[in-house]
Amino acid sequence: DGLEQLLNILEPFEAATHKLASDSSPTISIVLPVITTLITSLEYRDADSSFQEKVKDNL
């Protein structure tokens, strides 16, 4: 299902938002790992559908 695939792709962004918003003033020691996690989450995986690849391309 496309909606479920989209939610799976966006999950790391929700987690990153919560992590950064929970700290009153995020420092680079928090921000850099969060960005790295987001970049990694957007890498193609063998199991990705063409829909997932297109979404990742646009993000």
- What pLDDT, on a 0 to 100 scale, did the predictor assign at position 37? 97
- What pLDDT, on a 0 to 100 scale, did the predictor assign at position 14? 97
Tokens describing residue 59: 């993000």
- What pLDDT, on a 0 to 100 scale, did the predictor assign at position 16? 95
- What pLDDT, on a 0 to 100 scale, did the predictor assign at position 29? 87
Q: Rounding to the nearest 10 degrees, give the CA dihedral for residues 58, 38, 28, 19.
A: 110
33 contacts: CB under 8 Å, gap ≥ 6: none
Query: Contact 30/19 with Cβ under 8 angstroms?
Result: yes
Distance, in Å, from the CA atom of 5 to the CA atom of 42, rounded to the nearest integer, reads 13
pLDDT in tens, 17-54: 998 888 788 788 889 999 999 999 999 999 999 999 99
Distance, in Å, from the CA atom of 46 to the CA atom of 52, rounded to the nearest integer, reads 11
- What pLDDT, on a 0 to 100 scale, did the predictor assign at position 24? 81
Where are the domains positioned within the chain?
A: 2-58
